[in-house]
Amino acid sequence: MQTFNIPLLPRVLIFDIDSTLYTNREYAHEQIDCQIRHFSLLRGITAAEARNLISDFRKNWALMHEGKKISLGNLLVNFGISIEESIEWRKKLFNPKDFLSKDEKLAATLKKLSEKFYLVCVTNNPEIQGRNTLEALGVSNLIPRIVGLDTTLKSKPAQENFELAIDYASKALQKQVSFSECISIGDRFDIDLALPLELGMGAILVDGVTDVYKIPQILNIAG
């Protein structure tokens, strides 16, 4: 776990979902690979050829962007797959409930955090898939709002996604929340944290859900 510019008085925690609120390597791989396999069918190439095509694009993109990573949704746009089409793929090609189960420790952690902070999720999956994931984990009742790929038609990193998350929080708290009162939490620095830090938020880089369990201690929440 790494922390960056944690505010003295944070009010809002913005969570990524996948590979942040759970750790399941099989599911994390399948979410990406099932889309690549589907892409291969549309292109009339083998799955192996599609994987190599995507991998080569990622490497070249990183070389041209100071080593940064690109989300799969933004990557596929370069191959003629619109964000709208990616949304439909993600709704149909995988089901989080096939891979995930309730996590009582996560529920206890988020409940403790929700007593002090407003919790909101920003995900590069459609909102319904984000909600299905939270339900599978047994924590849906603790996170009232999700900004998904279909909410803004923007894939992280995109400022609109984080601005909307803050707007949800401001309305719920009945007070305008600033970037400096928020902490973005995720497992990918370039996708989940770099832009929030530029906007003035704090950030926590996690290596899966075991790090999320430690966040109450990091933020000095007793109990």
Per-residue pLDDT of 61-92, as tens digits, reads 999 999 999 999 999 999 999 999 999 999 99
Q: What is the maximal distance between C-alpha atoms in the chain?
A: 56
pLDDT band at 96 (very low <50, low <70, confident <90, very high): very high
Top-confidence residue, 8 or 183: 183
> Would you say residue 223 has pLDDT above 70?
no
d(CA 75, CA 197): 23
Q: Is 29 exposed, middle or buried (0-12, 13-18, 19+ CB in 10 A)?
A: exposed
Q: Token pair of 21, please? A: 């609120």
Strands 182-186 and 2-4: unpaired
pLDDT category of residue 29 using cuts at 50, 70 and 90: very high
Average pLDDT rounded to a whole number, residues 161-165: 97
Is the pTM higher than 0.95? The answer reads no
Average pLDDT of the chain is 96
Write down the residue that tokens 């925690």 correspond to.
Answer: 13
The three-point CA angle 216-218-223 to 5° equals 35
User: Hey, is 153 helix, strand or coil?
Assistant: coil
pLDDT at site 220: 86
The stretch 192-203 carries a mean pLDDT of 97
The span from the CA of 144 to the CA of 168, in Å, is 9
pLDDT at 222 over 70: no
- The closest of 19, 13, 33 to 188, measured between CA atoms, is 19
The pLDDT value recorded for residue 221 is: 75
Mean pLDDT of all residues in 109-137 = 97
Cα 186 to Cα 212: distance, rounded to the nearest angstrom: 9
